[in-house]
Amino acid sequence: PKITFIDAAGTSRDVDAKPGTSIMEAAVQNMIPGIDADCGGACACATCHVYVKDEWLAKLKDKDDMEDSMLDFADDVEPNSRLCCQILMSDELDGIVVSTPESQ
Ligand code: FES
């Protein structure tokens, strides 16, 4: 399934991810700028913060408590903020669009 990343400057980059791969892993594998992922996906760093476009947000599983509390450490958190190591790709999410924040 395809993921589109849009950076803070508005540049968009498409990536093809294997199902079951997290959006964070797909970003790192494809050297997408704007995702640091310092903790490697353990939901312990908040440097994989992204904004999920509203139409996709509804298709995601809700944040669990761990993601929710870790998001407090991210900057400029919005209602559509997520930690993308916690979003696993599936065919249902083919075409998902996420924006990366100015800084992590
Ligand atoms: Fe650290 Fe997602 S990679 S919280």
Render pLDDT for 7-61 as a digit per residue (tens, 0 to 9). 999 999 999 999 999 999 999 999 999 999 999 999 999 999 999 999 999 999 9
Q: In degrees, to the nearest 5, what angle opens at C-alpha 9 toward C-alphas 5 and 12?
A: 30
Given this model, what pLDDT does residue 95 score?
A: 98
| 59 phi and psi angles, rounded to 5 deg | -85, -10
Q: Binning pLDDT at 50, 70 and 90, where does residue 79 land?
A: very high
Q: At the topology level of CATH, where does 2-99 sit?
A: Ubiquitin-like (UB roll) (3.10.20)
ipTM: 0.99
From the CA of 100, how far away is ligand 1's center (Å)? 14
From the CA of 84, how far away is ligand 1's center (Å)? 7
DSSP string, 20-63: T-BHHHHHHHTT-TT---TTSSSS-S-TTEEEE-HHHHTTSPPP
The pTM score is: 0.96
Q: Which two tokens stand for residue 95?
A: 């075409």
Residues in contact with ligand 1 by the CB-under-6-Å rule are 24, 37-39, 41-48, 70, 83, 85
